[in-house]
Structure 1
Amino acid sequence: MPQHSSTARVSAHALSPHIGAVVQGVDLNTSLSSDTIRTIRDLLLRHQVIFFRNQTLTPHQHRDFAKAFGSLHVHPVYPTVPDVPEAIVLDTEKNDLKDNALWHTDVTFSETPPLGAILVARHLPETGGDTLWASATAAYDALSSQMKAHLEGLTALHDFTRSFPLSRFGRTADERNHWADVRNRNLPVEHPVIRIHPETGRRAIFVNEGFTTEICGIEQDESAALLSFLFRHLARPEFQIRWTWREGDVAFWDNRITQHYAVDDYRPHRRIMHRVTIMGDKPVGPTHTIHS
Structure 2
Amino acid sequence: MATAASKDASNRLELDIRPLTPVIGAEIHGVDLASPGITEQVPAIRAALLEYGVVFFRDQTLTQEQHIAFARHFGDLEIHPATPRKQPNREVLRIVHGPESRGSENAWHSDVTWREEPSLGSILLAREVPDVGGDTLFANMHAAYERLSPEMKRWCEGLTAVHDIARVFAKRLGKSVDELHEQYPPMRHPVIRTHPETGKRAIYVNTGFTSHIEGLADAESRWLLDRLYATASNPEVQCRFRWREGSMAFWDNRLTQHFAASDYYPARRAMDRVTIAGDRPFFDPEN
Q: Same fold (TM over 0.5)?
A: yes
Which residue identity lines up with residue 215 of structure 1 in the other structure? Answer: I
Question: Which residue does the alignment assign to 1:169?
Answer: 173
Query: Which whole-Å CA distance do the structure 2 matches of 1:98 and 1:246 have between them?
Result: 17
Asked whether the equivalents of residues 134 and 234 of structure 1 are also in contact (C-alpha less than 8 Å), the reply is yes
Query: Which whole-Å CA distance do the structure 1 matches of 2:191 and 2:102 have between them?
Result: 26
Query: Which whole-Å CA distance do the structure 2 matches of 1:275 and 1:181 have between them?
Result: 25
Which of 85, 92, 115 is residue 87 of structure 1 equivalent to? Answer: 92
Asked whether the equivalents of residues 81 and 89 of structure 1 are also in contact (C-alpha less than 8 Å), the reply is no
Q: Taking structure 1 as reference, are residues 272 and 207 closer, same or farther at Cα in structure 2, changes over 3 Å only?
A: same
Identify which range, 157-166 or 179-188, moves more after superposition: 179-188
Which of 219, 222, 226 is residue 228 of structure 1 equivalent to? Answer: 226
TM-fit CA distance, 1:118: 0.3
Which residue identity lines up with residue 233 of structure 1 in the other structure? Answer: T
Deviations 1:140-166 (A, max 9, x none): 011111111111110100000111133
Counterparts of 1:230-269 in structure 2, within 5 Å, are 230-269=228-267
Question: Which residue does the alignment assign to 1:190?
Answer: 188
Give the root-mean-square deviation of aligned CA atoms: 2.2
Question: Which residue does the alignment assign to 1:156?
Answer: 161
Asked whether the equivalents of residues 170 and 180 of structure 2 are also in contact (C-alpha less than 8 Å), the reply is no
Query: Which whole-Å CA distance do the structure 2 matches of 1:183 and 1:93 have between them?
Result: 30
Query: Which whole-Å CA distance do the structure 2 matches of 1:207 and 1:97 have between them?
Result: 25
Query: Which whole-Å CA distance do the structure 2 matches of 1:203 and 1:106 have between them?
Result: 18
Asked whether the equivalents of residues 80 and 87 of structure 1 are also in contact (C-alpha less than 8 Å), the reply is no
Asked whether the equivalents of residues 76 and 182 of structure 1 are also in contact (C-alpha less than 8 Å), the reply is no
Which residue identity lines up with residue 25 of structure 2 in the other structure? Answer: G
Question: Which residue does the alignment assign to 1:66?
Answer: 71
Query: Which whole-Å CA distance do the structure 2 matches of 1:99 and 1:114 have between them?
Result: 20
Query: Which whole-Å CA distance do the structure 1 matches of 2:46 and 2:86 have between them?
Result: 26
Deviations 1:168-206 (A, max 9, x none): 432xxxxx38x7644311111000000000000000000
Q: State TM-score, norm by structure 1.
A: 0.90
Deviations 1:38-91 (A, max 9, x none): 000000000000000111111110000000000000001244894211001001
Identify which range, 45-54 or 28-37, moves more after superposition: 28-37
Asked whether the equivalents of residues 102 and 266 of structure 2 are also in contact (C-alpha less than 8 Å), the reply is no
Q: State TM-score, norm by structure 2.
A: 0.91
Q: Taking structure 1 as reference, are residues 47 and 26 closer, same or farther at Cα in structure 2, changes over 3 Å only?
A: same
Query: Which whole-Å CA distance do the structure 2 matches of 1:25 and 1:151 have between them?
Result: 42
Which blocks of at least 5 consecutive residues in structure 1 are unaligned? 171-175
Question: Which residue does the alignment assign to 2:135?
Answer: 130
What secondary structure sits across from 1:228 in the alignment?
helix
Query: Which whole-Å CA distance do the structure 1 matches of 2:27 and 2:140 have between them?
Result: 16
Query: Which whole-Å CA distance do the structure 2 matches of 1:99 and 1:157 have between them?
Result: 22
What secondary structure sits across from 1:217 in the alignment?
coil
Which blocks of at least 5 consecutive residues in structure 2 are unaligned? 1-8
Counterparts of 1:280-291 in structure 2, within 5 Å, are 280-287=278-285
